[in-house]
Amino acid sequence: MTPSLILLSPFDLSLAAALVLLLAALSWRLQLDIGQRVLVAAARSTVQLLLLGLVLKALFHTVDPWFVALLATIMLAVAGYEVMARQKHRLRGFWGYGTGALSMFLSSFSISVMALLVILQPDPWFTPQYSIPLLGMLLGNTMTGIAVSLDNLTRQTVEKRQQIEARLALGQTAAEAIGDIRRDALRSGLIPIVNSMTTAGIVSLPGMMTGQILAGSPPMEAAKYQLLILFLIAAGTGLGSMTAVLIGSNRLFDERSRLRRDRLRS
């Protein structure tokens, strides 16, 4: 442990939590209808992060590849569920879950493995101290991008159904008829990471770098790690959103290039 790390006591955390309670109270007072969701989310993050801390503490001592694989699978499964839950008109059946989960698997997993094998090279490569935080960071961010892209794709398809069919009726292919919507969906998923890269270090101090500096790391090292993570997230979000939008928009049409509104929930 670095000597400059200031240990947080439960009392310190309670003070910060009190701010969230204050926010919830304020929201209740102003009838903003968000207080309950804030409290549930705060409670979830408390339980989840403390559990993660416990699991990682145990994991760091074992370095068992199966443990790492199990934890990674659970993280992916939950992220897939979150993507599905954030869509108003998700695809029916397996693809409602599968589109997001598959895209996250392809992007987050492959990029994490590449970063571990080629860039960070811990020994062994799946050392949980590196692999789990890296995967978590990637999953968390690609999840947002993929969820936004897919929600955008399916919502616009429902809203602009008649425009799409007008284009199909004139002989356009499915790709032409949904091209604009596809581009728009992809762009909306990539905006958050583009914005955070644009303002990183000027307007905002990214969370990971802040954490490292507070924990006593030299600022230059923290900056380099932050850059690495930003690049990986950008690549992962882009790759994941593209995959999701491609799979999703293919599912929206059948083999005769008919728009299949019935494959989306109402």
Partner 1 sequence: MSELRIEHLQRQGVNAARLAVAPGSCSAIFGASGSGKTLLLRAIADLDEARGEVWLDGQPRSGMSGPAWRRLVSYLAAESHWWAPTVREHAHDWSLADLETLGLQPDVLDWEVQRLSSGERQRLALARALAHAPAALLLDEPTANLDQRNTARVEQLVADWRARTGGCVLWVSHDPAQRDRVASATHEIIGGQLGGGHDA
Map residues 172-201 to x or -, x wherever contact with partner 1 holds by CB under 8 A: xxx-----x---------------------
Q: Considering only residues 118-177, where is the footprint of partner 1 by CB under 8 A?
A: 160, 162-163, 165-174
- Which parts of the chain are beta strand (E)? none
How many residues bind partner 1 (CB under 8 A)? The answer is 20
| Closer residue to partner 1, CB minimum distance, 183 or 224 | 183
Asked if 50 is part of the footprint of partner 1 (rule: CB under 8 A), the reply reads no
Q: Are the beta carbons of 226 and 199 closer than 8 angstroms?
A: no
Containing H/E element for 54?
A: helix 35-62
CA proximity to 249, closest of 145, 152, 110: 152
Contact between 217 and partner 1 (CB under 8 A)? no
| Piece in contact with partner 1 (CB under 8 A), picked from 42-50, 91-99, 201-209, 255-263 | 255-263
Contact of 20 with 37, CB cutoff 8 Å? no
- Phi, psi values for residue 184, rounded to 5°: -65, -45
Burial track 220-248 (b if 16+ CB lie within 10 A, e otherwise): eebbebbeebbebbbbbbbbbbbbbbebb
State which residue, 82 or 184, has the beta carbon closest to partner 1.
184
Cβ-based nearer residue to partner 1, 82 or 176: 176
Binding site for partner 1 (CB under 8 A): 160, 162-163, 165-174, 180, 254-259
